Amino acid sequence: MKNAYHALSKIFGYHEFRHHQADIIQDVLNNNDAMVLMPTGGGKSLCYQIPAILRPGVGIVVSPLIALMQDQVDALTQLGVSAGYLNSNQSAEAQNAIEQQLLNNELDLLYITPERLMSNRMLSLIAQSQIALFAIDEAHCVSQWGHDFRKEYQQLNILHQRFPDIPRIALTATADSRTRQEIIEQLDLHNARTYINSFDRPNIHYQISDQSSKTDLLKFIKNSHQNDAGIIYCLSRKKVEETAAWLVEQGFNALPYHAGLTPQLRETNQKRFLREEGLIIVATIAFGMGIDKPDVRFVAHLNLPKSIEAYYQETGRAGRDGLPADAWMAYGLKDMMMLKQMIQESDNEMQQRISHSKLDSLMALCETTSCRRFHLLDYFGEVTDKACGNCDTCLSPPETWDATEAARKALSCVYRSGQRFGIGYLTDILLGKSNDRISQNKHDTLTTYGIGTDISANEWKGIYRQLIAMGYININFEQFGALVLTDKARPLLRGEIELKLRKPTKKSSNKSETKQKSALRDIDQELFEALRACRYSLSQAESVPPYVIFHDKTLIEMTKMRPLMLSELGKIAGVGEKKLDKFGQQFLDIILQHDIHPWFKNDLSETINSTLGLYLKQQNAQSVAETRELSLSTIYTHLSAAIKQQVIALEDINEITASDIKDIENAIELCAEGGQEGTKPIFEFLNGEIEYGIIHCVRSSLETIE
């Protein structure tokens, strides 16, 4: 493990392992198998990359993600690691060159698709090579009931049969208990030690709304992610195209991605997303597998995904660097009905049952009135009793109401109309609407006709949506979406139980924005942008995405620490020896060009430093108060704190004259002699002619002298 820590620091630029990385690496180095469940961005890759580098031979990494292969190899090459990949996108000449490197034992890591690996020719080549380990990435793909099933994954147990002495490590970020058992069975990992890290992604703020419009999406992006990279998922290709075009009209850099585009255009758009700053990709679920971009700041869903696994994996593409990110979803009744219909169209009864169960779990997450993260983690078998404080239901707890009577009316209307009609028609009956269809069916004579006029049409539709989600009603798609009561509805209809429902979602209160504030002070933004510009220029020259040079997290640490020597720069997380030698001086030169005023080399809070930054520019406390939308008293309190910490001197505050200082010092002395402490007696002694805040500043100055 000493060598493992050395590789971690020297090659990758990190100084400590996270989660169970050290234990996993030790296991593989000891020639043991391992199964690893670790959240996206948790550091799965290091668990096989470091053992592959340290053990004799090449680490074979099985992955279905062609896009990810090139990214991983580009990143490893920048670190000085010998890596390659084999996939169908390469020329025959390039493939032959990599195969020769494999046979010559010149590679530390080789990425390969399961389809190619399963060929007799490839297995023969591997048998002629020295193998360090097999890493099976995205191992959840073995599950035939999962959202990313690949039939070739179920054949990968051949690796254990043909190479029984080579350690295997299976890795995934998405697997419930059923899928975990399938991985063990299908890959013959019965003797492997299982490492399960928390599924929690605490940096992601979850927000789900039961109503949406383009205006809501626009407000969300403009408020929190104006210049950020993001992914927007839609269910249909048409909606993808329309949304991308609309965002461009609104001034955003947005591109579409779906299976209907030509392969060349899909590849171009994906490369642009990876390599350009602040680009938004609008896509179907065809996009995203293998996207290793760490600085995606938001993922938005304009339609329901099919399951919690899909939702977790897709939202997990945000904030892989550990910095704050948003998962925003808007859904409606149409989404739920469309997914239920798709499930009904399956001929496999077992598949139907599992898919219904998964959709029910997702709807429970959407409709919950408690912490979203609690439900999300519980689905994967991770128990927590602590609310996260970083989801919409924690920050703006939804209101509930006693909907027992309303629900009984809604269910009774379904029953009395013969369980043959959809939501719109049933709502018309409850509202007592008069039209030809209701008259012809004589439903204006029903006891439920007109009994729901105290509730709006949209609210009735919301009640029906929740009743469907909670299992009181099923949808009969053979009768064009007619609602049908389930056995669960009987005790509710009889009045034997009570029911609480959530009130319609209010428009976003933007409370989540407190979680999305920049990790930098205002005074540091200029340097950070200069470092980003340098990174982008280098990435263009190297033909790699910017994050392959350095992650945002590394640039933020550079900005905060402002190292003055290469040795100091090398201590920053993410700066390994190879990158330090290759890029270090260029970044160091930029840091030295952006030295800051001595005022800001302090431990004061961000809000105080924001005040200092503005005061340095404007030299007027009232102007700063207006700019920051704070009271003048608060601004003086900030300046007072800076004086007390000796960050600034009393003489730096223009509003405080020598005469004021003399009068205040005299008042302080006289009040003290009279046994009067605090600011109020001083203020009153001066007849209220000098600001409280100015008095605070003078007192802070005297305290530093003492």
Residue 509 falls inside a structural domain: no
Residues 93 and 11 in one domain: yes
For 27-65, the pLDDT digits (tens) are 999 999 999 998 887 889 999 999 999 999 999 999 887
With respect to residue 350, please indicate whether it lies within any of the assigned structural domains: yes
The CATH number that applies at residue 415 is 1.10.10.10
**0.85 surpassed by pTM:** no
The pLDDT score that the predictor gives to residue 285 is 77
Is 513 part of any domain?
no
Query: In total, how many domains does the chain have?
Result: 5
The neighbouring-strand residues paired with 298 are: 230, 326
509 pLDDT tier (thresholds 50, 70, 90): very low
Longest dimension (CA), the chain: 97
- Spatial contact of 116 and 152, defined as CB atoms under 8 Å apart: no
Same domain? For 246 and 260 the reply is yes
Same domain, 187 and 121: yes
Last residue of a domain, one of 458, 473, 502: 502
282 and 414 part of one domain? no
> Residue 508 domain-assigned?
no
Res 383: pLDDT: 82
pLDDT of residue 288: 60
Which domain, by its residues, includes 464?
Answer: 400-502
The span from the CA of 421 to the CA of 481, in Å, is: 7
pLDDT over threshold 90, residue 199:
no
Residue 512 included in any domain: no
Mean pLDDT of 66-94: 89
pLDDT at 639: 94
**Domain boundary pick from 331, 360, 395:** 395
Average pLDDT over residues 317-330: 92
- State the pLDDT at residue 329: 94
Mean residue pLDDT of the chain comes to: 89
In this predicted structure, the answer to whether residue 238 has a pLDDT above a threshold of 50 is yes
Residues 417 and 459 grouped into a single domain: yes
When pLDDT is averaged across residues 115-136 and rounded to a whole number, the result is 94
Whether 361 and 270 share a structural domain: yes
Query: pLDDT-derived band of residue 168, with 50, 70 and 90 as boundaries?
Result: very high
> What is the CATH number for 118?
3.40.50.300
Q: What is the 3-state secondary structure (H, E, C) of 435-454?
A: CHHHHHCCHHHCCCCCCCCC
Please give the average per-residue pLDDT across 338-350, as a whole number.
81
Predicted confidence at residue 147, as pLDDT, reads 62
Last-in-domain residue among 357, 377, 395:
395
Q: In 3-state terms, what secondary structure has residue 637? A: helix
One-character DSSP codes across 363-422: HHHHH-SS-HHHHHHHHTT----S--SSBHHHHSPPPEEE-HHHHHHHHHHHHHTTS---
Residue 467 and residue 437 share a domain: yes
Over range 226-234, report the average pLDDT: 93
**Statement to judge: residues 446 and 568 lie in one domain:** no
Q: Count the residues in the chain.
A: 706
Evaluate if residue 653 carries a pLDDT over 70.
Answer: yes
| pLDDT at 512 exceeding the cut of 50 | no
Residue 511 placed within a domain: no
Residues 371 and 414 occupy one common structural domain:
no
pLDDT in tens, 567-603: 999 999 999 999 999 999 999 999 999 888 778 888 8
The reply to whether 380 and 407 lie within a common domain is: no
Residues 6+ apart with CB under 8 A from 134: 59, 60, 62, 159, 163, 166, 167, 168, 169
Tokens of 222: 């403009």
Is residue 601 one of the residues assigned to a domain? no
Per-residue pLDDT tens digits for 519-578: 677 788 899 999 999 999 999 999 999 999 999 999 999 998 888 899 999 999 999 999
Better-scored residue on pLDDT, 461 or 538: 538
For residue 516, is pLDDT > 50? Answer: no
Q: Does 414 lie in the same domain as 389? A: no
507 assigned to some structural domain: no
| Alpha-carbon span 507 to 294, nearest angstrom | 30
131 with 183, same domain?
Answer: yes
